[in-house]
Amino acid sequence: MTSISRKGILVLALLTVLALLAAPAVAQDMEESEFVFAHGGPIRTLDAPVTWFISTHWLANLLYDCLIWRTVDGSGYVGQAAESWENVDATTWRFNLRPGITFHNGEALDAAAVKWNIDRVRTREDFMVQPQWLDVAEVIVVDDVTVDIKTVAPTPYFEFIVSFNGCELLPPGYIEEVGEEQFARAPVGSGPYVLSEFSESDRYVFTAWDDYWGGRPDIDRVIYQVIPEQSAQVAALLAGQVDMVANVPSAEVPGLEMAEGIVLTSETAAVMQHLYLRVETETGNMDSTYPDYQPATLDANVRHAISAALDRDLLAEVHGSALPRTGRICPHFPEGGGDSFNSAEGVAAAYNPDRARELLAEAGYADGGPTVYLDSPTVGRAGSEKEVAEVVSVMLEEVGFNVELTVLDPSAYGEQISSGGNNRDIMMVSLGCSVPLVPLFYQCNWIQANYNVCNEDFDAVAQAILTEMDPAARLELWGQWWEYWFDTMQTVTLFESQAIIAYSDEFDFTPRKDGWYTFRENLKLAGDDM
């Protein structure tokens, strides 16, 4: 009897320990609001200008202010450290800082600090964002709260540059005192949140800063929790342990629709899926990889046939969360061509298999062929690349092409793209569709060696766009750009990816048009004014 009692006590003790262990995972102070975002990781250094990875800059935007920042709806810019700004002349931009603002450690965020930051980012060759800042010729401190930035040439899209990766303002005094290595361990900014704790590429806890110039943020704590597996992210949301999951796989949507307290929405991921077609063999190292190979896509008729053979509606359906497109720029930009390139009618008109066959016949392939090599990653920025590539192959074969499809692991594919010129005919590429970036992608001094889309005329128009300060004249140049775009058909756009976002109904959330998951004015507790 005594022995049984002892055993009973032991079992009871064990059960008690297990119950304590299994108690609610995270004790929460009910008075403090907390928002947890499931981040797919990895997250790089929060010495933000060092890294180019956008998903790290999502976090940086809570910790730091930039001079100005892109609006949620993508239509313009708002001041952060700068209260106002103006284009003084073709190559000078003046920024008037908010008087008296400081970094979290009390250090002044003045014109000298802005100069230190921009000089740092434009001169450090080990910084991944440095190339985009090479347009800056000089930064002049006018007075404590006024700074002029001179550009090497007229730069109409300078506001985009100055609000993009590397725009984060860091405290010069603190960095010089502790060094960059220590700064990476304990970064300090001037944004609405202080980084209160973090473990590298795992969990980052941001706490609202009382003294922020824009007022204390509505949410007390914003946490970025790295959860690499998408299924595990969704499970954590359903378990109430995270509050938002972005890029929900379409297979998970029905389950989330049935769950209580979950809001589902979708917004552009600001990424488009394209087929890059080889239009010349001079650049890159294709000749050494495939000596004497003559890509069929050198013939414009073949390129147009590829475009006409593709049913973009079906491809968007295969992707699961995408809108069919024929243009190159996200349609919410005025330069994006609007409905003419992206409407259902426009997209439907582009699909014409009979025309594709005619074009192939004109190119000398009436009896079948040509053979084209299509390379794709298993998955990339747009998602479902492999599946889309397989359907593209079928569509091309339907009109007479012989397709040799190669699907590679993303890192091997990245290697192939970046190491230069290994693609023979067609490669799947997902790229951003923001206006100021797109002309860059087609300049001959950029990475055309890898994508093989260099075209001198195209380059000239792109260069003119990037230096034309008059908005009306610039739109006209865009018209020329689009003509080249459709004439040369060196890039065939398939669709624009849409991110499916699931979040707790305890929050009001407006997704950003730039595909960034950074939370400032676009996130509130449900019921509060946005």
Partner 1 sequence: MQQFIATRIVQGIITLIIVSFLAFFLVRLKGDPVDITAPPTFNEDQKQRLRELWGFDKPLAEQYVIFITRAVTGDFGIAYLSKRPAMELVIERLGATWLLAGVASLIGLSVALPLGIISSLNRNSFFDLGSTMLASIGTAMPSFWLGLMMIIFFSVRLRLLPAFGALDPSAIIMPSLTMGVGMAAYLSRLTRSAMLEVLNEDYVRTAYSKGLITRTVVFRHAMKNALIPIMTVFGLQLGWLLGGSVVVESVFSWPGLGRLMIDSIGVRDNTVVQAALLFFSLSFITINIIIDILYAVIDPRIRFD
Applying CB under 8 A, does 119 fall inside the site for partner 1?
no
- Least Å distance, CB 129 to partner 1, is 8
Asked whether the beta carbons of 454 and 444 are under 8 A apart, the reply is yes
Applying CB under 8 A, does 47 fall inside the site for partner 1?
yes
Applying CB under 8 A, does 440 fall inside the site for partner 1?
yes
Applying CB under 8 A, does 231 fall inside the site for partner 1?
yes
The single-letter code of the amino acid at 522 is N
**Among 77, 41, 73, which residue's Cα sits nearest to residue 59?**
41
Applying CB under 8 A, does 225 fall inside the site for partner 1?
yes
Extract the tokens encoding 163: 């609000």
Find the part of the chain contacting partner 1 (CB under 8 A) among 236-244, 344-352, 459-467, 507-515: 236-244
Pairing of strands 203-208, 193-199: antiparallel
Measured N-to-C along each axis, helices 385-398 and 312-319 cross at an angle, to the nearest 10 degrees, of 150
Encoded one letter per residue, x for contact with partner 1 by CB under 8 A and - for no contact, window 322-361 reads ----------------------------------------
Nearer to partner 1, 41 or 214 (CB): 41
Extract the tokens encoding 313: 């509606």
Map the footprint of partner 1 across residues 16-45, applying CB under 8 A: 21-23, 25-26, 41-42, 44-45
Applying CB under 8 A, does 227 fall inside the site for partner 1?
yes
When binding is defined by CB under 8 A, the residue of 29, 31, 86, 125 that contacts partner 1 is 125
- Least Å distance, CB 345 to partner 1, is 33
The single-letter code of the amino acid at 14 is L
Name the residue with tokens 């908010």: 98
Asked whether the beta carbons of 475 and 334 are under 8 A apart, the reply is yes
Nearer to partner 1, 61 or 230 (CB): 230
Backbone angles phi, psi at 486, to 5 degrees: -80, -30
Q: How many residues bind partner 1 (CB under 8 A)?
A: 55
Find the part of the chain contacting partner 1 (CB under 8 A) among 73-81, 102-110, 232-240, 338-346: 232-240
When binding is defined by CB under 8 A, the residue of 34, 52, 87, 108 that contacts partner 1 is 52
**Among 60, 69, 48, 101, which residue's Cα sits nearest to residue 215?**
101
- Least Å distance, CB 468 to partner 1, is 21
Residue 98 has a CB neighbour count (10 Å cut-off) of 17
Applying CB under 8 A, does 120 fall inside the site for partner 1?
no
When binding is defined by CB under 8 A, the residue of 71, 105, 146, 241 that contacts partner 1 is 241
**Among 490, 530, 486, 480, which residue's Cα sits nearest to residue 509?**
530
When binding is defined by CB under 8 A, the residue of 108, 128, 263, 460 that contacts partner 1 is 128
Q: Point out which residues pair with 164 in neighbouring strands.
A: none
Encoded one letter per residue, x for contact with partner 1 by CB under 8 A and - for no contact, window 157-186 reads -----------------------xx--xx-
Nearer to partner 1, 256 or 464 (CB): 256
Residues making up the chain, counted from first to last: 530
Nearer to partner 1, 112 or 184 (CB): 184
Planar angle of CA 364, 365, 366, nearest 5 degrees:
100
Q: What is the dihedral of CA 392, 397, 401, 403, to 10 degrees?
A: 60
Applying CB under 8 A, does 256 fall inside the site for partner 1?
no
Q: For residue 391, what is the enclosing H or E element?
A: helix 385-398
Applying CB under 8 A, does 51 fall inside the site for partner 1?
yes
Backbone angles phi, psi at 284, to 5 degrees: 75, -175
When binding is defined by CB under 8 A, the residue of 8, 334, 364, 414 that contacts partner 1 is 414
Nearer to partner 1, 53 or 290 (CB): 53
- Least Å distance, CB 231 to partner 1, is 6
Residue 123 has a CB neighbour count (10 Å cut-off) of 12
- Least Å distance, CB 206 to partner 1, is 16
> Collapsing DSSP states into helix, strand and coil, what is residue 105?
coil
Residue 441 has a CB neighbour count (10 Å cut-off) of 20
Nearer to partner 1, 412 or 525 (CB): 412
Find the part of the chain contacting partner 1 (CB under 8 A) among 77-85, 153-161, 193-201, 214-222: 193-201
Applying CB under 8 A, does 130 fall inside the site for partner 1?
yes
Applying CB under 8 A, does 236 fall inside the site for partner 1?
yes
SS (HEC) of 173-208: HHHHHHCHHHHHHCCCCCCCEEEEEEECCCEEEEEE
Find the part of the chain contacting partner 1 (CB under 8 A) among 50-58, 146-154, 245-253, 386-394: 50-58
The whole-angstrom separation of Cα 493 and Cα 388 is 12
Nearer to partner 1, 48 or 139 (CB): 48
Tell me the DSSP string of 54-81.
HHHHHHHHHH---SEEE-TTSS-EEESS
Q: Where along the sequence are the contacts to partner 1 (CB under 8 A)?
A: 21-23, 25-26, 41-42, 44-45, 47, 50-53, 125-126, 128-132, 180-181, 184-185, 199-203, 225-229, 231-232, 235-236, 238-242, 411, 414-415, 418-419, 440, 445-447, 449-450
